Amino acid sequence: MKPYDSVIELGQLMLKNKPKVYPVIDDDGNLLGTICRNDVLHAIDKHMRANLKSSKEHAAH
């Protein structure tokens, strides 16, 4: 996984495959860190909450 890859796509990949931890590498193949299922779930939750808040604020105007 690259740092700029979609967390949503990674979540879908995690549903299909067994690994629960994926390496994050740069374009030169250097390891930057790892991302796990919990990280993905938190990112998706944060994204959904931000969109919900934005929708509510937009509807109030």
pLDDT tens digit at each of 61 positions of the chain = 888 888 888 888 888 877 789 999 999 999 999 999 899 889 889 888 888 887 777 676 6
Does the pTM surpass 0.85? The reply is no
Residues 22 and 35: their CA atoms lie apart, in Å, by: 5
CA geometry: angle at 16 spanning 25 and 24, to 5°?
10
Structure tokens at 34: 């790892």
Q: 3-state DSSP call for residue 24?
A: strand
- pLDDT attached to residue 7: 83
